[in-house]
Structure 1
Amino acid sequence: MNKMLVKRGMAFILAGALAVGMTACGKPAGDNTGTATNTNAGNTNAGAGKQVELKFSHIWGGATDPFMPAAKKVIDDYQKANTNVRITVDTNENEAYKTKIKAMAAANELPDLFSTWGGGFSKPFIDSNSVLAIDDYITAETKGKLVNGAFNNLTYNDKIYGMPFFLAAGALFVNTELFDKNNVKLPATYDELLTAIKAFKAKGITPMAVSGKDKWTIAMYFDVMALRAAGPEKIVKTLTKEGSFKDPEFLNAAKRFKELVDAGAFSKGAAGISNDEAEVPFYDGKIPMMFKGSWAAGKADAKDSKVAGKIGVISFPAIPDGKGNAKQFTGGAVDAVMVSANTKNKDEAVKFQMYFAENFSKESYLAGAAMPAWKAEDVDKSKLPATLVKVVDLTKDAEGFTIWWDTLLAGKDTETYLNALQELFMGAKTPEQFVDSLQSIYGK
């Protein structure tokens, strides 16, 4: 259980740790390779060795994706310093990528390297012996560069299979200007959150941004409400099939979630729009609240952002009769890059895997897109984007981090959860029916 729950030791202090957001979404970008100069190539040896081509699949290809520049720079830098290596990149947006990488694994056609998520998402890949265990490549020096617990969600059967780059933290991003202009109080309690939702709704303003089409964004909201209702230990125990969704805490979470829906928290058309579309009005300054991972800070502080300087970051409040509290966060070190067990160039693939994870972590942090899992004592924190610093400050006293349900659950169980949640969101299931659907994961 401790491996699934990211304890306070994984939390980062801005002065000593990098932390980053979970999954970013982008539009398909096709294949690309890089040729830019490199200023921090680590222990690479330019031009050494035989010519090698490495295929790398990931999700950071969209033109508006805050992680895209960082990913491209790191790949470009590596190739410049290692002229014998050619990185062939294939990208897809989040949901399409998940489907594609699962299909590739099932067909035994995984690329040499691929981005993924720890916990239950990658467990089927490990169980089918599709991923290379990298314990023999990880030195004490490498471990010392990472925050404590960074490998917790990437360790299976006591072996490490992935290199992490981000820490993620779910938070409620709020447009303080909209709150002030409409004389609405920032919510510190659940009742105040409901009051704020109803106040904005009465003024014709959609209170919260969400995509009902991309189900993981609905789950962002429910996961934190379940954490507030049940507490971290029960969440992990139940998702790993050592408990029961029939416990009253889960019905409490479902009823509170439906309460937000019924109060008009989300737009009526949310069920038919994508995550990219759902975020637009928030970043345009038209929607006051959005619960997302820490990666949302990147767009809020972008050079062309319409909400720069207007975004606050608060914890989702505790809910009535809940066992959890506002110092417990969803997230943790989950995002990672793995190497296919079938790669013909294991040493070269792992060498790039290590380089990419460390430098992607740093570059994304500097860009304000994420909080890194690699320590960054050399980063000038005064130059960090304001919203990201707010996330760091919010989580510095965190009691712990619990990874998202769609990551902790494995295989078909994830789809069972997300489909049932979408039905609850759309009113096709009652909270009681939703809980029954969750319990079916247990086969009873």
Structure 2
Amino acid sequence: MNKMSVAKRGAAFILAGALTVGMVACGKNTTSNNSAGTSSNAGGNNAKNVELKFSHIWGSASDPFTASAKKVIDDYEKANKNVKIKVDTNENEAYKTKIKAMAAANELPDIFSTWGGGFSEPFVKSNSVVALDVSEDMKSKMVNGALTNVTYDGKVYGLPFFLSCGALFVNTELFEKNSVKVPTTWEELLTAVKTFKSKGITPMAVSGKDKWTIAMYFDVMALRAAGPEKVTKTLTKKGSFKDPEFLNAANRFKEMIDAGAFSKGAAGVSNDEAEVPFFEGKIPMMFKGSWTAGKAGSKDSKVAGKIKAISFPSIPGGLGNPKQFTGGAVDAVMVSENSKNKEEALKFQKYFAENMSRESYLSGASMPAWKTDVDESKLNPSLVDVVNLTKDAESFTIWWDTLLAGKDTETYLNALQELFMGSKTPQQFVDSLQTIYGK
């Protein structure tokens, strides 16, 4: 049986000192224990009936993680007859707003999905979430560095379940039919954009309404312009957006916009709406996270076998390179400090994280944050493509809207949307970013 080991990506996740806040690691492979977290008295008649409220973002039928999340929850309830998981789901952006409001009102559910780095920092600072007692045995089941982005002041507050990676997904069939070269350089990327545009084909899919999708593009361009060390240093307020690399990234982003990369109506289109033509085979490029492989390679996908994941090319004058990626072990689950069923919530948290890692990997939606062996023949080919793309990666830097905290995230996303729509110049955009420093 042909196996694909998580350890293949081991060297790609080696970290460098203080930069661990923005990067993650991957390590040696072992087999996952899928029964982790199951109550010992699951079948007992004396077990106390417990209802756990669980809020997360995987509710859409089109979401590649929905089926995996449902299976893990159902399996836990079957093994723990006394536990009922009451699920509440919202779309990504709506969820972020809702979970922040719930935290502010001290109404967090027993367990909830979140993102590490700056996004969850306010929950930690307000003592809204449980600090975990992570044993060495539990750590040994996770890839090296998986806990980096959910560790604050030396304490772990969340358990991650998969690794995400930003990639440029290209429809090779559209490239071939239109005699366009799959880009490996900035110049080739601009040529591809202009060629498709001249043929009446929207070159790239993006939602201007859901600002995080615009940020997917800019984040990687900033990474190419400034390199991972400078990006992480600047986002954690130890540098300056006045450094010329950030203006270079903004200028290149505008250059891509001016070349016609995106549809004119993108500003009013949601993420779900923006993705439809890409997955229908009508748009040739989309920069998104590795979860895109789940949709692209699914059995009922119209573009199955046609989508290839490539690294975003270097940009002129940039300090970064195509072996440096956006992403990392960011998505996690946390338990509310106010949960009335904290012990059961902590059991379910561990069970969900480990098993969601495995199930989403098997379904082809993501790379796992927990060590596991799987039969390669059962994997989504598009995901294998992403794994192979990143096996020689130098670093992974988490996305700006995750690494930044609180209002700083909104400052970034709002300014980026204005740059995207043309109401801010690249210089004005950079000036807006610098206000995060209070000067």
TM-score (norm 1): 0.92
Q: Is the 8 A contact 2:37 2:347 kept in 1?
A: no
Q: Partner of 1:6 in structure 2?
A: 23
From the superposition, tell whether residues 343 and 374 of structure 1 become closer, same or farther in structure 2 (CA, over 3 Å): same
Structure 1 residue 88 corresponds to structure 2 residue 78:
no
Counterpart CA distance in 1 for 2:38 and 2:280 is: 43
Q: Is the 8 A contact 1:17 1:374 kept in 2?
A: no
Structure 1 residue 312 corresponds to structure 2 residue 329:
no
Which aligned pairs between 1:414-433 and structure 2 lie closer than 5 A? 414-433=409-428
Q: Partner of 1:34 in structure 2?
A: none
Give the share of equivalent positions with the same residue, in percent: 76
Amino acid of the structure 1 residue aligned with 2:168: L
Q: Partner of 1:336 in structure 2?
A: 332
From the superposition, tell whether residues 12 and 295 of structure 1 become closer, same or farther in structure 2 (CA, over 3 Å): farther
Q: Deviations over 1:184-222 (max 9, x none)?
A: 001000010001100100101000000000000000000
Q: Is the 8 A contact 1:17 1:373 kept in 2?
A: no
| 3-state secondary structure, aligned to 2:175 | helix
TM-score (norm 2): 0.93
Counterpart CA distance in 1 for 2:31 and 2:145 is: 12
Amino acid of the structure 1 residue aligned with 2:109: P
Which aligned pairs between 1:278-357 and structure 2 lie closer than 5 A? 278-357=274-353
Counterpart CA distance in 2 for 1:442 and 1:200 is: 40
Give 1:104's match in structure 2, choosing from 89, 92, 102.
102
- Which structure 1 segments of 5+ residues have no match? 19-38
Counterpart CA distance in 2 for 1:169 and 1:17 is: 23
Give the Å deviation of 1:47: 3.0
Q: Partner of 2:7 in structure 1?
A: none
Give the Å deviation of 1:254: 0.1
Q: Partner of 2:379 in structure 1?
A: 384
Amino acid of the structure 1 residue aligned with 2:23: V
Structure 1 residue 406 corresponds to structure 2 residue 401:
yes
Q: Is the 8 A contact 1:17 1:372 kept in 2?
A: no
Counterpart CA distance in 2 for 1:12 and 1:200 is: 41
Counterpart CA distance in 2 for 1:439 and 1:253 is: 15
| 3-state secondary structure, aligned to 1:255 | helix
Structure 1 residue 232 corresponds to structure 2 residue 228:
yes
- Which structure 2 segments of 5+ residues have no match? 1-17
Q: Partner of 1:21 in structure 2?
A: none
Counterpart CA distance in 2 for 1:392 and 1:345 is: 38
Counterpart CA distance in 2 for 1:43 and 1:433 is: 53
Give the Å deviation of 1:324: 0.4
Q: Partner of 1:22 in structure 2?
A: none
Q: Deviations over 1:246-265 (max 9, x none)?
A: 00000000000000000000
CA root-mean-square deviation: 1.4
Amino acid of the structure 2 residue aligned with 1:87: I
Amino acid of the structure 2 residue aligned with 1:228: R
Q: Deviations over 1:153-183 (max 9, x none)?
A: 0000110000000101000000000000000
Counterpart CA distance in 2 for 1:129 and 1:43 is: 27
Q: Is the 8 A contact 1:17 1:147 kept in 2?
A: no
Amino acid of the structure 2 residue aligned with 1:183: S
Give 1:194's match in structure 2, choosing from 187, 190, 207.
190
Q: Deviations over 1:387-444 (max 9, x none)?
A: 0000000000000100000000000000000000000000000000000000000010
Counterpart CA distance in 1 for 2:292 and 2:80 is: 33
Structure 1 residue 117 corresponds to structure 2 residue 134:
no
Q: Is the 8 A contact 2:36 2:354 kept in 1?
A: no
Counterpart CA distance in 2 for 1:41 and 1:415 is: 38
Question: Which stretch shifts more, 380-389 or 426-435?
Answer: 380-389
Give the Å deviation of 1:41: 6.5
Give the Å deviation of 1:42: 6.0
Give the Å deviation of 1:346: 1.6
Give the Å deviation of 1:16: 6.6
Q: How many residues align?
A: 418
Give the Å deviation of 1:65: 1.2
Q: Is the 8 A contact 2:183 2:192 kept in 1?
A: yes
Give 1:438's match in structure 2, choosing from 406, 424, 433.
433
Give 2:371's match in structure 1, choosing from 367, 371, 375.
375
